[in-house]
């Protein structure tokens, strides 16, 4: 979408926009201790820049940014050094407003009312918004709503139709609305965690006419507002954000006559960075060019898209044996044998030999040493991850060092000791309480320079606080949430243990069937490559599980598909060029450590085991036309091995055999099944004798 045609607007119209440039939460700390959230780089570009580019291209002429006082100077300095400084004030004016007492978005709106900047309807958005929406269509819909309601429509809220488990729908969003035929909101349900039910007012259900219930809409944090909205925030000090505002307007609709409307975005991209999980997913979408024209190569001019689907800058270097997957961006250097999956490697950063990154953002001048594994992490400038370190779902502030040879999960680390501001105060004559300046090297590594960032204790009474915090930052689902109706117990169980090595959240649904087939094939290929390297280099099973889970999230597959694909890949890896039984079993024996470690992780229930043994049967059926008889006979060896190592239980094997229709496989495993049945019968007789 190019620059909007300003001739569509009346001469006297001045399109105004308000950007709320704070998050009022701790998801990105301690990174946001050193850089304002609005200036946090996303694919090498500050979040605020995406907002300003969108507004300018859509013909907005006046933009008001509201931020906390301690961030104002840094945002002003950025604007002064950016291209936005060169625009004529009459064409595109950007003003930064700040105060030290902002505690919520509502406070910013009340300050906006006090400053009396707003002269007509205006656009309200959060600074995390990344979009290529045509704002003229949203403005047109808002004005139509105004006309139809006699100027009683206070807001037109832009929403995007997404499956509740879509990868770019935030996991801490539970948004359900009851609408009338004109898309007017009759009732709205926001972010009420740990509930599977909605208490809708009876009057909504019996109001007559057509009422639709929508749970497939995601908020975009883009709203066109009536000019009276700031004044309503001033009159209602309990309104802390737009959700509070919407609820309040709906509750008092009969008295005040005001209403809220929805506008469903079609044929455009619109998402908002609300937690780290969303940050990483939107980064991938930018690399996929869903946000065109706001793409990586638009901002980083010497960074070009390669045939393999990744970007590399002029100064970037990738070793011949390194593997860089689609949708990665490389501005630094990648050494031999390293594997980069959907990650951003900043300018001057280096990834050493055999290191692996999955959905990771590295800032400038970061060093990742040999054999490190990083998954779903944000790493600030000048950090060092020493060799053999596993880092999962963690945020490192600038200049942090971790490792070597440690495994860290769900960390927020900074390079200086945490100071809550009370460290030097004397308490009733006692010695001064000082901040602990000793780095826990037993936990963070012998070369570590790392201190945990500690969040406030306001909610320390809440026993569920750790889980809630993890949920907010990484979008991890929890049993009992509204969207958990889409998650099976099987999927929960299959991932419970893998969470300890980096599987952070449930995967999204709603994939197009054709795209699903393509993703399944790509997923199988990546799992095969991981297992091949794992067997050749004798990599620990937990590291391979981390890679499999990372690929699972990247390709949007279910836990059942993970079990099927992993089983097929483990067997396929053992096939040699000869495709003989002897060669197959020789390779299989070398891989028993990886086979047992990986399958034990996923096969915890009878259903999981049945999926596995069914896939074993299909493997041998598919293989039959291209192999000799000796390889077919190994089916008995494989099932016997999995039984002896307690991966497959007796009942699962016998049930599978009873249901088996392929006579060739039945013939090859018959002797083992008979032995299993006799052994079971002998145990029963022994029990009866006793």
Tell me, yes or no, whether 647 lies in a domain.
Answer: yes
Phi-psi region of 391 (alpha: psi -120 to 50; beta: other; left: phi over 0): beta
pLDDT tens column, 214-250: 888 888 999 999 999 999 999 988 898 888 898 888 8
Closest CA to 2 of 48, 45, 57: 57
Is there a single domain that holds both residue 268 and residue 384? Answer: no
Mean pLDDT, rounded, for 301-306? 88
Q: Residue 318 above 90 pLDDT?
A: yes
Closest CA to 528 of 558, 567, 502: 567
Is there a single domain that holds both residue 125 and residue 265? Answer: yes
What CATH code is carried by the domain that includes residue 58? 3.90.550.10
pLDDT tens column, 558-591: 888 899 999 999 998 888 666 788 888 888 888 8
38-42, 583-587, 675-679, 680-684: segment of lowest average pLDDT: 680-684
User: What contacts 360, CB < 8 A, 6 or more positions away?
Assistant: 343, 344, 374, 375, 376, 377, 378, 379
pLDDT tens column, 622-667: 888 878 888 888 999 999 999 999 999 999 999 899 888 888 899 9
Residue with the larger pLDDT of the pair 330 and 249: 330
For the chain, what is the radius of gyration of the CA atoms?
Answer: 29
Instruction: State how far Cα 589 lies from the chain centre.
Output: 38
State which residues form the domain around 151.
13-272
Q: How confident is the model at residue 38 (pLDDT cuts 50, 70, 90)?
A: very high
Tell me, yes or no, whether 204 lies in a domain.
Answer: yes
Q: Residue 365 above 90 pLDDT?
A: yes
pLDDT tens column, 392-450: 999 999 999 999 999 999 999 999 987 655 444 444 344 444 556 789 999 999 999 99
Tell me, yes or no, whether 253 lies in a domain.
Answer: yes
So what's the pLDDT on residue 510? Answer: 37
* CA 104 vs CA 67, 110, 237, 244: distances in Å: 10, 10, 11, 12
Is there a single domain that holds both residue 66 and residue 19? Answer: yes
Indicate the pTM of the whole model: 0.68
Planar angle of CA 533, 329, 526, nearest 5 degrees: 25
User: What contacts 613, CB < 8 A, 6 or more positions away?
Assistant: 639, 642, 648, 652, 653, 656
Tell me, yes or no, whether 676 lies in a domain.
Answer: yes
Tell me, yes or no, whether 175 lies in a domain.
Answer: yes
Is there a single domain that holds both residue 580 and residue 640? Answer: yes
Is there a single domain that holds both residue 448 and residue 501? Answer: no
pLDDT tens column, 165-211: 777 887 777 788 888 877 788 788 776 555 667 777 777 777 667 88
Q: How many CB atoms lie within 10 A of CB 662?
A: 13
Please answer whether residues 271 and 278 qualify as being in contact, where contact means their C-beta atoms are separated by less than 8 angstroms. Answer: yes
What CATH code is carried by the domain that includes residue 356? 2.160.10.10
pLDDT tens column, 477-520: 433 332 332 333 333 333 333 333 333 333 333 334 334 445 56
**Mean of the per-residue pLDDT values for the chain?**
82
Q: How many domains does the chain have?
A: 3
So what's the pLDDT on residue 543? Answer: 85
């Amino acid at each position: 979408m190019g620059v909007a045609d300003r001739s569509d607007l009346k001469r006297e119209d001045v399109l105004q926009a308000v950007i709320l440039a704070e998050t009022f939460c701790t998801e990105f700390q301690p990174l946001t201790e050193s850089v304002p959230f609005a200036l946090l780089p996303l694919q090498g570009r500050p979040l605020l820049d995406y907002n300003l580019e969108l507004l300018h291209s859509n013909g907005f002429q006046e933009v008001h940014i509201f931020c906390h006082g301690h961030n104002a100077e840094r945002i002003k300095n950025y604007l002064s050094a950016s291209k936005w400084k060169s625009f004529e004030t009459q064409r595109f004016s950007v003003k930064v407003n700040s105060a030290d007492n902002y505690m919520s978005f509502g406070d910013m709106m009340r300050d906006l009312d006090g400053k009396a900047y707003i002269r007509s309807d205006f656009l309200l958005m959060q600074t995390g918004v990344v979009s290529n929406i045509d704002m003229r269509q949203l403005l047109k819909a808002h004005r139509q709503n105004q006309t139809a309601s006699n100027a009683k429509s206070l807001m037109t809220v832009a929403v995007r139709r997404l499956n509740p488990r879509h990868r770019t729908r935030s996991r801490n969003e539970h948004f359900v609305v009851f609408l009338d035929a004109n898309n007017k909101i009759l009732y709205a349900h926001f972010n009420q965690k740990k509930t599977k039910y909605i208490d809708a007012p009876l009057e909504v259900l019996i109001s007559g006419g057509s009422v639709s219930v929508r749970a497939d809409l995601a908020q975009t944090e883009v709203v066109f507002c009536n000019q009276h909205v700031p004044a309503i925030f001033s009159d209602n000090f309990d309104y802390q954000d737009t959700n509070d505002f919407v609820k309040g307007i709906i509750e008092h609709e009969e008295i005040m006559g005001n209403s809220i409307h929805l506008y469903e975005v079609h044929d455009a991209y619109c998402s908002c960075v609300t937690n780290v999980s969303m940050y990483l997913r939107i980064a991938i979408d930018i690399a996929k060019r869903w946000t065109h024209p706001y793409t990586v190569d638009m901002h980083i001019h010497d960074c070009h898209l390669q045939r393999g689907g990744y970007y590399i800058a002029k100064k970037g270097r990738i070793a011949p044996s390194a593997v860089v997957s689609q949708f990665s961006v490389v501005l630094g250097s990648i050494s031999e044998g390293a594997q980069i999956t959907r990650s951003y490697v900043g300018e001057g950063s280096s990834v050493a030999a055999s290191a692996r990154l999955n959905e990771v953002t590295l800032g400038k001048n970061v060093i990742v040493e040999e054999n490190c594994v990083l998954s779903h992490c944000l790493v600030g400038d000048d950090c060092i991850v020493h060799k053999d370190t596993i880092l999962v779902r963690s945020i490192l502030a600038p200049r942090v060092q971790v490792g070597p040879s440690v495994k860290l999960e769900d960390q927020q680390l900074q390079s200086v000791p945490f100071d809550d501001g009370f460290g030097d105060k004397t308490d009733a004559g006692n010695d001064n309480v000082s901040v602990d300046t000793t780095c826990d090297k037993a936990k963070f590594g012998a070369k570590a320079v790392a201190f945990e960032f500690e969040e406030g204790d306001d909610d320390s009474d809440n026993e569920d606080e750790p889980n809630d915090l993890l949920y907010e930052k990484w979008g991890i689902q929890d049993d009992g949430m509204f969207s958990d109706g889409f998650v099976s117990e099987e999927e929960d169980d299959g991932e419970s243990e893998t969470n300890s090595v980096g599987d952070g959240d449930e995967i999204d649904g709603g994939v197009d069937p054709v795209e699903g087939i393509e993703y399944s094939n790509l997923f199988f290929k990546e799992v095969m490559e991981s297992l091949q390297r794992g067997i050749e280099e004798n990599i620990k099973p937990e590291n391979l599980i981390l890679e499999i889970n990372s690929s699972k999230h990247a390709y949007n597959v279910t836990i059942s598909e993970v079990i099927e694909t992993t089983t097929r890949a483990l067997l396929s890896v053992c096939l040699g060029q000869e495709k003989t039984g002897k060669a197959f079993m020789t390779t299989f024996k070398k891989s028993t450590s990886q086979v047992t470690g990986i399958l034990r992780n996923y096969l915890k229930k009878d259903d999981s085991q049945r999926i596995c043994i069914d896939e074993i049967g299909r493997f041998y059926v598919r293989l039959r036309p291209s192999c000799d008889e000796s390889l077919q006979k190994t089916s008995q060896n494989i099932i016997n091995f999995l039984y002896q190592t307690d991966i497959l239980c007796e009942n699962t094997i016998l049930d599978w055999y009873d249901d088996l229709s392929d006579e060739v496989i039945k013939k090859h495993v018959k002797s083992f099944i008979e032995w299993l049945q006799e052994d079971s019968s002998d145990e029963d007789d022994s029990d009866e004798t006793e």
